[in-house]
Amino acid sequence: MPSPDIPRTVVIGAGPAGLTAAYQLAERNAPVVVFESDDVVGGISRTVERDGWRFDIGGHRFFTKVPQVEALWHAILPDEDFLLRPRTSRIYYQGKLYDYPLRAVNALRNLGVGQAALAVGSYLWARVRPPKDQTNYEAWLVARFGWRLYRTFFKTYTEKLWGIPVSEMPADWAAQRVKNLSLSAAIINAVMPKRNQKEIASLIEEFRYPKYGPGMMWEAAARRVEKMGGTVTMNSSVTAIHLEGGRATAVTVTSRSGEEYRVPADHVISSMPLSTLLKSMDPPPSADVLAAADDLRYRDYLTVALIVPKEFSFPDNWIYIHDLGVKVGRIQNYGSWSPYLVKEGRTCLGLEFFVFEGDEMWTKSDTDLIAQGTAELEVLGLVRPGAVETGYVVRVPKAYPTYDQYYRRNVEIMREWLAVHAPNVHPVGRNGMHRYNNADHSMLTAMLTVENILDQTGHDVWTVNVEEEYHEEKSNNDSAGAVAGSGRRGTGRDAPVIPRKAG
Ligand SMILES: Cc1cc2nc3c(=O)[nH]c(=O)nc-3n(C[C@H](O)[C@H](O)[C@H](O)COP(=O)(O)OP(=O)(O)OC[C@H]3O[C@@H](n4cnc5c(N)ncnc54)[C@H](O)[C@@H]3O)c2cc1C
């Protein structure tokens, strides 16, 4: 029985951050209620289930250097459900598959003698005549690889992912992530024995994965929260946070059927998008704070999952699609993530499209998107015409919080306002903090917040996932293709600053 002195916490969202917070509060006997707008838990890390097929939004590798996160994953899921899976991914370009990370010998062999010679010539030319202004990412890459290799291995995927020309992206982000990168360094890396081979292999070539997809972790977490005395209420959005005397005192919950009720709170842990959180304050913040909330931007995402006979399966977890002629950015093979996601004799290929909510792709009907996905798979030669049996579409708004030149200031304005007017409202997670956090860092922000609430520890949660050394060297994830060819994986925990015109 929780003691009446222990604060009562309302958690907004049952994704990794919200459920981690709820788990840790419930484990310590603190009263906690979670509200989730959706009808499934897991947020962006959920498992989508359609007609018995299970798939993932992207592919969620469970990979972390944070020991308390690793420990929590293992506390939630038994080893037999938490598979250790090999990682393979390649780049598809003009009918050929290139190892990713790039290996010079494989790349040059795939290009063929003629193209390889042209690529080397273009590289040498760029060395002799490097672009004068290397402040944009394109010129920076061309100076290190030459135009031909830049076009083959960098340009298209990066542009598909972020939706702007590489020539408009600033170089400093890349320069920081892939310092000392060049073709000669890549060749040396490819032929020299690798240092710490075993450690790198264990971190990069394998990862953990729940056998029924990432949502399995969060479904188990939600059950444990309820078993420990917390509640997780689905189909229920927090639509207002009520402030009184310089603190949040209650939230309004609106159920899918339209019913509204008020729930008292000593603390509110929020993983809803930071902008929506500020806009839900009652009374509302001043106009400049609301303007900062309105000014945050996102990149959105949709996946077209196509069921095909197993003969069209491939060993990769995913393939980056660098061809210009198709819009698909990456293709996941869910059968390679876990055999439990697919059915006998078939696999499910997830075609990932990076989009903006409301754009031409986003607003297409599911039927048209499935037809487009099928046509693109056929054009790429990855399936035989007529082989796709059926398909499903999942749209994910706000998949990537965008870093533009204004986001830092906007977030700062909102943080300062919260610190003064609602110090017991705690933003956590990815969109919750407008941070390009992976699940592990989303979870860590929740863990530290719980300690702040129960132990008054005073952790600065905003310092989580601010550049750490290991990111550069040892970690990797979903945006890795943006630095394809580095031979060192990007962390995906950071992102380029996307320039935006004022106004
Ligand atoms: C394509 C892609 C690939 C990725 N790959 C990886 C990977 O390989 N490894 C990895 O660790 N991470 C990966 N990530 C990141 C990972 O998905 C996120 O870090 C993680 O899901 C964030 O957890 P969260 O709880 O902060 O937010 P979310 O997952 O967004 O969950 C927030 C929850 O809050 C709910 N909610 C929102 N508003 C309200 C409201 N008003 N009331 C009630 N509920 C509300 C939402 O419905 C949602 O369920 C990937 C992300 C993407 C987009």
Q: Is 270 in the pocket of ligand 1 (CB under 6 A)?
A: no
Closest ligand 1 atom to residue 61 Cα is 8
Task: Please give the pLDDT value at position 85.
Answer: 95
Q: Is 481 in the pocket of ligand 1 (CB under 6 A)?
A: no
**233 and 271 inside one domain:** yes
**128 and 259 inside one domain:** no
**145 and 227 inside one domain:** no
Q: Is 480 in the pocket of ligand 1 (CB under 6 A)?
A: no
- Single residue among 401, 425, 447 that ends a domain in this structure: 401
**416 and 452 inside one domain:** yes
Please give the Cα distance from 364 to 327 (Å, whole number).
14
Please give the Cα distance from 153 to 141 (Å, whole number).
10
Please give the Cα distance from 228 to 29 (Å, whole number).
8
Beta carbons within 10 angstroms of residue 372's beta carbon:
18
User: With contact defined as beta carbons under 8 Å apart, do 134 and 102 qualify?
Assistant: no
Q: Is 438 in the pocket of ligand 1 (CB under 6 A)?
A: yes
- Single residue among 193, 221, 241 that ends a domain in this structure: 193
Closest ligand 1 atom to residue 433 Cα is 26
Please give the Cα distance from 382 to 96 (Å, whole number).
11
pTM for the complete prediction?
Answer: 0.91
Distance 233 CA to ligand 1 centre (A): 17
**391 and 321 inside one domain:** yes
User: With contact defined as beta carbons under 8 Å apart, do 158 and 482 qualify?
Assistant: yes
- Asked, for residue 58, whether it belongs to a domain, the answer is no
**215 and 236 inside one domain:** yes
Segments forming the whole domain that contains residue 340 = 298-401
Nearest CA among 210, 61, 136 for reference residue 497: 136
- Asked, for residue 273, whether it belongs to a domain, the answer is yes
**139 and 159 inside one domain:** yes
Task: Please give the pLDDT value at position 153.
Answer: 86
Amino acid in the structure at residue 237: S
H or E element at residue 56: strand 53-56
Identify the CATH number of the domain in which residue 451 sits.
3.50.50.60
pLDDT in tens, the chain (503 residues): 555 678 999 999 999 999 999 999 999 999 999 999 999 999 999 999 999 999 999 999 999 999 999 999 999 999 999 999 999 999 999 899 998 877 778 888 898 899 989 988 999 999 999 999 988 889 998 998 899 989 988 899 889 988 889 998 888 766 655 545 556 666 556 555 554 444 444 446 889 999 999 999 999 999 999 999 999 999 999 999 999 999 999 999 999 999 999 999 999 999 999 999 999 999 999 999 999 999 999 999 999 999 999 999 999 999 999 988 899 999 999 999 999 999 999 999 999 999 999 999 999 999 999 999 999 999 999 999 999 999 999 999 999 999 888 999 999 999 999 999 999 999 999 999 999 899 999 999 999 999 999 999 999 999 998 755 333 334 333 333 333 333 333 333 467 778 876 55
Nearest CA among 164, 139, 146 for reference residue 496: 164
Helix/strand/coil for 8 = coil
Amino acid in the structure at residue 158: T
Rg, C-alpha atoms of the chain:
23
Bridge-based pairing of strands 231-233 and 32-35 is: parallel
Domain count, the chain: 3
User: With contact defined as beta carbons under 8 Å apart, do 290 and 32 qualify?
Assistant: no
Please give the Cα distance from 484 to 171 (Å, whole number).
15
User: With contact defined as beta carbons under 8 Å apart, do 146 and 124 qualify?
Assistant: yes
- Asked, for residue 126, whether it belongs to a domain, the answer is yes
Distance 137 CA to ligand 1 centre (A): 28
Please give the Cα distance from 454 to 335 (Å, whole number).
42
Task: Please give the pLDDT value at position 176.
Answer: 58
**290 and 228 inside one domain:** yes
Beta carbons within 10 angstroms of residue 389's beta carbon:
11
Nearest CA among 446, 455, 451 for reference residue 427: 446
**397 and 304 inside one domain:** yes
Task: Please give the pLDDT value at position 173.
Answer: 66
